[in-house]
């Protein structure tokens, strides 16, 4: 039995506990079966954490299987990105990577077995006719005129299909089940179709490809899967899953169990839709930091631990629901609050000249990298000219404004107390420089005469700072459920990316490693981009939940 500390509980794990207790299974064997037709998204992370998490906790096995029966839509690049993402999330598969296409010979053999048993036939109805014959939810279907073709003839026809003697779409192989079944999936479903397509694993060996429902259950059984976990939309397909395994000679009978998919507000979660965004250039690629893909979240600054924690918090149930973005963000915020070093950056700078500070003096001040944990310290150059955030200064303000006000004092984070003496403006009335004085008795201590200085603001040296591009992100879509719109791309948020070309950063950030996260003090969490040539930081998440606020506005 697994160690039970920190183990999630859910209805699937309860079923497994029962199966192990009753002796139905001696151990667990799960699988994660993506189709390599796009990058993985956060919904897949839910399935990954479930399947690999069960293997970890029960000391079982978990396969990575590429469900690759759609050669036209699949690509070897996706095969690679999916492996990267699973590993990055902190999981590893047992044994070799599996491909459904490894089983094409077996699958062909089982299809022949069904034909031999009189349980499959080659059908020549056109797609339009087949739709007519299928019936509706309220009306039974009609038998295909090809349903009673003899076994011998079907064997010969299927052989011809395999040999490329029919055109694409001319015929299909169908299972002979029940055209009156209340489960549409059992109305003589297609199990093989013709596709003259090059396959990324099997090349041009095949021109017939098995359908998902036929492939999946047999692949599971061939791999000795005990519990085949999938999302709710396959509930009805379970009838077909069980039917196929019941009617072919195969020992292993995996149990399919469905759970609800993850839906996340303000984004879409289907590879097809995400692919549209990439293809139409509406994002910069699958790993655009606004994308809900694992690669996008990674570039945005999410950590593997934060995504695993999110999957744990949402849990596994059979209830369909929509998860708030705030819930995902809370996970990375909690992680980075604890683990990210602090740094200072000024995104919208206004210059300060400290008139009583020597023009050529540079003082190296020490600042702790974390307020509570021991993460060491770094040096901050302090100089006569510094930048502060434009919105941290006002000519006049009431007491609630705890920042710099003309004629008043404020503390510079990790440095001195300064007082704003006068300002300089351009012709348009924009402040160009704020002239200040500093109190050299206030480094690391309060003013000696008991003056109270309430506010603390961040700053960087104007002469010793470095410049970087900072990308500020907002939700990718402007409605909570873009998938419900007629055209989901019409609901894209036009302001989802704001690029700041030359933000001013403290010099220690020049050495930031790719994907290293920081708290830019008072601004939020940022992570060094893993792709851009020039120094670039992506905003990961704000310091507080801004979604809740937007909801009320």
Least distance between ligand ATP and beta carbon 217 (Å): 13
- Residues 441, 448 contacting (CB under 8 angstroms): yes
**CB-based contacts of 456, cutoff 8 Å, min separation 6:** 410, 411, 412, 413
Mark the segment that binds ligand ATP (CB under 6 A) among 165-173, 190-198, 268-276, 438-446. 268-276
**β-sheet bridge partners, residue 251:** none
- Residues 210, 190 contacting (CB under 8 angstroms): no
Q: Which stretches does DSSP call E strand in 200-315?
A: 208-210, 227-231, 255-259, 262-264
- CA-CA-CA-CA dihedral for 403, 405, 408, 410, to nearest 10: 20
Mark the segment that binds ligand ATP (CB under 6 A) among 261-269, 334-342, 448-456, 523-531. 261-269
DSSP state of 407: T
Written as six digits, the tokens of 114 are: 């069904």
Mark the segment that binds ligand ATP (CB under 6 A) among 38-46, 137-145, 347-355, 525-533. 38-46
What residues from 33 to 72 belong to the interface with Mg ion (CB under 5 A)? 35
Q: Rank residues 35 and 94 by Cβ distance to Mg ion and give the closer one.
A: 35
Which residue of 271, 300, 342, 528 would you call a contact of ligand ATP, by CB under 6 A? Answer: 271
The yes or no reply on residue 113 touching Mg ion (CB under 5 A) is no
Least distance between Mg ion and beta carbon 289 (Å): 24
Distance in angstroms (rounded) separating the CA atoms of residues 534 and 515: 14
Strands 431-439, 349-354: pairing kind? parallel
Written as six digits, the tokens of 427 are: 């012709």
Which residue of 13, 20, 30, 33 would you call a contact of ligand ATP, by CB under 6 A? Answer: 33
The yes or no reply on residue 231 touching ligand ATP (CB under 6 A) is yes
How many other CB atoms sit within 10 Å of the CB of residue 450?
Answer: 6
Q: Rank residues 210 and 524 by Cβ distance to ligand ATP and give the closer one.
A: 210
Strands 497-505, 466-473: pairing kind? antiparallel
Q: Rank residues 262 and 512 by Cβ distance to Mg ion and give the closer one.
A: 262
Which residue of 35, 75, 106, 545 would you call a contact of ligand ATP, by CB under 6 A? Answer: 35
Q: Rank residues 213 and 392 by Cβ distance to ligand ATP and give the closer one.
A: 213
- Residues 528, 515 contacting (CB under 8 angstroms): yes
Strands 262-264, 255-259: pairing kind? unpaired
The yes or no reply on residue 53 touching ligand ATP (CB under 6 A) is no
Written as six digits, the tokens of 435 are: 């002239």
How many other CB atoms sit within 10 Å of the CB of residue 423?
Answer: 15
Alpha-carbon separation of residue 407 from 56, 160, 416, 443 (angstroms): 62, 91, 16, 20
Distance in angstroms (rounded) separating the CA atoms of residues 290 and 463: 33
The yes or no reply on residue 261 touching ligand ATP (CB under 6 A) is yes
Q: Rank residues 35 and 545 by Cβ distance to Mg ion and give the closer one.
A: 35
Choosing among Mg ion, ligand ATP, none, which partner's interface includes residue 231 (Cβ < 5 to 8 Å by kind)? ligand ATP
The yes or no reply on residue 522 touching ligand ATP (CB under 6 A) is no
Which residue of 12, 29, 39, 46 would you call a contact of ligand ATP, by CB under 6 A? Answer: 46
Mark the segment that binds ligand ATP (CB under 6 A) among 150-158, 247-255, 267-275, 514-522. 267-275
Which residue of 28, 30, 34, 244 would you call a contact of ligand ATP, by CB under 6 A? Answer: 34
Q: Is 55 strand, coil or helix?
A: helix
Catalytic site residues?
A: 35, 261, 271
By beta carbon distance, the residue nearest ligand ATP is: 43
Q: End-to-end distance of the chain based on CA atoms, in angstroms?
A: 51
Number of residues that bind ligand ATP (CB under 6 A): 15
The yes or no reply on residue 47 touching ligand ATP (CB under 6 A) is yes
Q: Rank residues 65 and 146 by Cβ distance to ligand ATP and give the closer one.
A: 65
Q: Rank residues 270 and 489 by Cβ distance to Mg ion and give the closer one.
A: 270
For the residues of 165-180, what is the DSSP string, one character each?
-S-TTT-EEEE---TT
Q: How far is CA 24 from the centre of its chain?
A: 35
Mark the segment that binds ligand ATP (CB under 6 A) among 22-30, 31-39, 202-210, 484-492. 31-39
Least distance between ligand ATP and beta carbon 228 (Å): 9
Q: Rank residues 35 and 113 by Cβ distance to ligand ATP and give the closer one.
A: 35
Q: Is 386 strand, coil or helix?
A: strand
Least distance between Mg ion and beta carbon 380 (Å): 51
Name the residues that contact Mg ion, by CB under 5 A: 35
Q: Which residues bind ligand ATP (CB under 6 A)?
A: 33-35, 43-44, 46-47, 67, 230-231, 261-262, 269-271
């Amino acid at each position: 039995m697994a160690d039970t500390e920190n183990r999630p509980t859910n209805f699937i794990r309860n079923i497994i506990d029962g199966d192990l207790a009753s002796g139905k299974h001696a151990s667990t064997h799960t699988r994660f079966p993506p189709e390599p037709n796009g990058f993985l998204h956060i919904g897949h992370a839910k399935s990954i954490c479930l399947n690999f998490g069960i293997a970890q906790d029960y000391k079982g096995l978990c396969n990575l299987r590429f469900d690759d029966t759609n050669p036209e839509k699949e690509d070897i690049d996706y095969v690679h990105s999916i492996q990267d993402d699973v590993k990055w999330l902190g999981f590893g598969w047992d044994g070799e990577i599996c491909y459904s296409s490894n089983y094409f010979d077996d699958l062909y053999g089982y299809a022949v077995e069904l034909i031999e048993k009189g349980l499959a036939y080659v059908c020549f109805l056109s797609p339009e006719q087949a739709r007519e014959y299928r019936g509706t939810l309220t009306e039974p279907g009609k038998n295909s005129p090809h349903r009673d073709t003899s076994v011998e003839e079907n064997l010969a026809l299927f052989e011809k299909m395999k040999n490329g003697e029919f055109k694409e779409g001319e015929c299909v192989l169908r299972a002979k089940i029940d055209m009156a079944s209340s489960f549409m999936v059992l109305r003589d479903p297609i199990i093989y179709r013709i596709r003259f397509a090059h396959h990324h694993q099997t090349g041009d060996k095949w021109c017939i490809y098995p359908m998902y429902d036929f492939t999946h259950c047999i692949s599971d059984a061939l791999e000795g899967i005990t519990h085949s976990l999938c999302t709710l939309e396959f509930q009805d397909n379970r009838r077909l899953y069980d039917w196929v395994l019941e009617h072919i000679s195969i020992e292993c009978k995996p149990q399919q169990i469905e759970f609800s998919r993850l839906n996340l507000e303000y984004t879409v979660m289907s590879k097809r839709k995400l692919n549209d965004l990439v293809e139409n250039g509406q994002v910069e690629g699958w790993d655009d930091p606004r994308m809900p893909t694992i690669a996008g979240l990674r570039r945005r600054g999410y950590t593997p631990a934060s995504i695993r924690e999110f999957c744990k918090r949402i849990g596994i149930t059979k209830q369909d629901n929509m998860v708030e973005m705030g819930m995902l963000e809370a996970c990375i915020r909690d992680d980075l609050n604890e683990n990210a070093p602090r740094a200072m950056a000024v995104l919208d700078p206004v210059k300060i000249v400290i008139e009583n500070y020597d023009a050529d003096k540079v003082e190296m001040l020490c600042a702790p990298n974390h307020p509570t944990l021991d993460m060491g310290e770094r040096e901050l150059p302090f100089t006569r000219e510094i930048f502060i955030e434009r919105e941290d200064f006002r000519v006049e303000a009431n007491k609630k404004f705890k920042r710099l006000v003309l004629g008043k004092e404020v503390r510079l984070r990790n440095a001195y107390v300064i007082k704003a003496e006068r300002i300089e403006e351009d012709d348009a009335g924009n402040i160009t420089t704020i002239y200040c004085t500093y109190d050299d008795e206030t480094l690391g201590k309060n003013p000696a005469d008991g003056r109270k200085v309430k506010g603390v603001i961040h700053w960087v040296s104007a002469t010793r700072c470095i410049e970087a591009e900072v990308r500020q992100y907002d939700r990718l879509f402007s409605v909570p459920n873009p998938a419900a719109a007629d055209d989901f791309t019409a609901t894209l948020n036009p302001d989802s990316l704001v690029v700041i070309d030359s933000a001013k950063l403290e010099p220690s950030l020049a050495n930031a490693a790719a994907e290293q996260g920081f708290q830019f003090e008072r601004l939020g969490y940022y992570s060094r981009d893993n792709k851009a040539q020039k120094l670039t930081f992506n905003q990961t998440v704000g310091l507080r939940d801004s979604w809740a606020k937007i909801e009320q506005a």
